[in-house]
Amino acid sequence: MAGLEGIEQPRGHGRTTAARWSPAVEDETAAKALELFGNPTEAEVPLPSRPESAATARRLAQVVVLRQWGLTPKMTEDVVLLVSELVGNAVRHTGARVFGLRMRRRRGWIRIEVRDPSRGLPCLMPVQEMDISGRGLFLVDKLSDRWGVDLLPRGKTTWFEMRVADR
């Protein structure tokens, strides 16, 4: 990724199977997260840079993608997984106190952004079958249609986009 900030990374359409997730699970908790933390489709939602914030970000993604945007359970499952990976990277690797989650939809696309104050660029590493960590960006690369990093004056935004069918 070094030198590729601000440049989208086109992705193939290969799909990787991930752990099963059910959109009906934690539905009430997801709606409560939206009330407590705010709607990431309206403004960036600041979350504390702690491991438990990954669960909050997953719940926010779930309620937005499945309930507000009315997308499929499979799409919701993929978005929830990728949000978890980007948040995990922000919490683990940036030393930030807070990170921001933003979700956008435009005709034919959804875009999820995680902003943090670090200007360190994430690296897409080769993944071996027996690796037990380091698969976050590999999953983002495989499941999203494109992804990238935008450097900001203070920090960066790591994002992914996925094509969606408009009704």
d(CA 21, CA 31): 17
Residue 115 three-state SS: strand
17 vs 155, higher pLDDT: 155
Residue 1, pLDDT score: 41
pTM (2 decimals)? 0.80
pLDDT band of residue 122 (cuts 50, 70, 90) is confident
Q: What is the mean pLDDT of residues 79-87?
A: 95
Boundaries of every domain in the chain: 23-118+134-163
pLDDT band of residue 21 (cuts 50, 70, 90) is very low
Spell out the CATH class of 23-118+134-163: alpha beta
User: Which amino acid type is present at position 166?
Assistant: D
d(CA 35, CA 32): 5
Question: Which stretch of 51-65, 89-103, 118-132 has the lowest confidence by average pLDDT?
Answer: 118-132
Contacts of 63 (CB under 8 A, 6+ apart): 27, 30, 31, 33, 34
The percentage of the chain sitting over the pLDDT mark of 70, rounded to a whole number, equals: 78
Q: Determine the distance from the C-alpha atom of residue 153 to the mean position of all C-alpha atoms in its chain, rounded to a whole number.
A: 22
12 vs 137, higher pLDDT: 137
Which strand (E) or helix (H) includes residue 9? strand 9-10
Residue 136, pLDDT score: 76
Which strand (E) or helix (H) includes residue 37? helix 27-37
- Mean confidence (pLDDT) of the chain: 83
Q: What is the mean pLDDT of residues 76-81?
A: 96
Residue 8, pLDDT score: 47
d(CA 148, CA 140): 10
19 vs 152, higher pLDDT: 152
